Each structure stands twice: as structure tokens, then as C-alpha cells.
Structure 1
């Protein structure tokens, strides 16, 4: 998996997720992402699922950019803006936002590969930490 920045959409896997979401019928995107987030909680609980922590972080951030005002607050100009806009989940309900928040927090614990790489390494990535905090803030305000 290629990674070009530590942000939630800065990897090949995240780009693939955005493309998959965009290919879904807009009305089905929420359920598609809900399944990923539920798998993310299973991953955090130690179950064997076909998902990486980075996938869960990207899925939770997709929900965060989809809530009213999320895209404007979380996306840096030029950061795959067209791809993100085409992947937005219409009419996010509070239960999906709550699941995204829970899943995102479940990835941000010691022992999780994503957390250990971007938060708790010898060289932590401030961009990843800032993006995490911003997404948590957006999701908390929405639910």
C-alpha cells in the first residue's frame, strides 16, 4: 500500500475506498461505509477481518466530511477534492456519525498499527493527529 501523506485520505487504500464509495449508488453509500466501520470495531476487538486500520480511519473521515459543513472544515483545497466530493454520503444520519466516531476512537489506542505509526512513534505525524482531532470534533458536533 502506498502512502503519500499521513492524512486520512493519503494512501492508495483510501483512494480505493473513495472510488468504491463513488461507484455505489449515493443512497447505498451509508450502508457500505457502515459495514466497514462495524468491521473496524471487530478489528479493534482483535477479530480477524479483511481490513486495515487505515481503511477504518478513511471510512470514518468520509462520514465526517459528509456531515453538513464537514467537507469545508476537513478538506484542504486540492486534496483530492473532486474524488472526495464524488464520494460524499448524502443525508448522514446521527447513528452513522456515532459509529464513525466510535470506530475512529477505536483506532486511536496504543497497540493499533495506525496509532503506533502516526501518534506514538519516535517520529509522530502532527498532520495525522490534527486530522484525527478535527474529524472527532466534526463528528461530535453532528451527533
Structure 2
């Protein structure tokens, strides 16, 4: 992973996703996220390209930022909310998309290989923390939508 920090948008792959999303309407962004969380193709009009786990994390962060409680993601120490993130923002993700984001992110978090890409234990811990916050926001929303009292917190890494 060509990362330059531990946040969800701090890699070349995530930056590419943000740049691509900045050129799309919000509806197109939501559809592209659905494809990312389902494993591809990334571009409905293009060839099949496998989805990188970094895109899943970045996409899940975009979805979580659009939800009640998304400020918790914005407030993580690893999160930089800048003009690129704002230009790629999504609004109104439906319950199905939130569930897909949660499931895909949990799958990435369960595969320790993604976190192993970080060179140092401190960076791995920082990345795990951010992913855990993203999962918690997504899981809380899913729980609230399913009518479970208290919005059961998510279990991430």
C-alpha cells in the first residue's frame, strides 16, 4: 500500500477514489460505492478491476461521514477532512448501502493482511482505531434502522 499516513484517505488509492468521485453526481457516487462494497467492477462502464481494500475503507469512511455520528470519524486523529474529501462527499446513503459498507469493512478488518501493510505497530494501531470508529458509526446506524434499542455498537478489529 502506498500510504503516506494512516487515515482512510491517506493513500494513493484512496486519493484516486476521491478524485474519481469529485467528477460524479452524488447518485453516481452512491452507485459506485455499492459496486466497491460488492467487490467490483469499480466503474460500471469499464472493465472489471478488483477492488482494493483501501477503497473499501475510504468508501466506508465517506458513508460514515454522511450519517448521524459521522463527526466521530471526522474527529479521529488520523482523519484529515479537506477539500478533496468534501468534493467527494455522499449524502443520503440508504440502509442497504450502509449495511454493505459495514459488511465490506468488517471483512477487510477481519483480514489482518490489510493492517500488516503498515510498517510499525503504532501505525497499525492508529489504522485499526480509525477503522473501528468507522465500523462503530456504521453498525450504530444499521442497529438504529433495524429498531434495536440503543444502537448496538459495532465490533471491528
TM-score (structure 2 length as normaliser) = 0.73
* Between 19-28 and 133-142, the greater mean CA deviation after superposition: 19-28
Count, aligned residues: 132
Describe the superposition over 1:8-49 as per-residue Cα deviations: whole angstroms up to 9, x where unpaired: 111011011111112111122111110011007xxxxxxx95
Counterpart in the other structure of 2:55: 55
Question: Among residues 121, 124, 127, which one is paired with 1:123 in the alignment?
Answer: 121
In structure 2, C-alpha distance between the alignment counterparts of 1:29 and 1:39, rounded to whole Å:
15
User: Whose relative contact order is higher, 1 or 2, with alpha carbons under 8 Å and at least 6 apart?
Assistant: 1
TM-score (structure 1 length as normaliser) = 0.80
Structure 1: where are the runs of 5+ without partners? Answer: 41-47
C-alpha RMSD of the superposition? 2.4
Tell me if structure 1 keeps the 8 A contact 2:7–2:80. Answer: no
Please list, as runs of the form range in 1=range in 2, the aligned pairs for 1:80-95 lying within 5 A after superposition. Answer: 80-95=81-96
In structure 2, C-alpha distance between the alignment counterparts of 1:108 and 1:69, rounded to whole Å:
20
Alpha carbons of 1:117 and 1:2: their partners in 2 closer, same or farther (altered >3 Å)?
closer
Structure 2: where are the runs of 5+ without partners? Answer: 41-47, 143-157
Structure with more helix by fraction: 1
Larger Rg: 2
Tell me if structure 2 keeps the 8 A contact 1:17–1:55. Answer: yes
Please list, as runs of the form range in 1=range in 2, the aligned pairs for 1:98-117 lying within 5 A after superposition. Answer: 98-110=99-111, 113-117=113-117
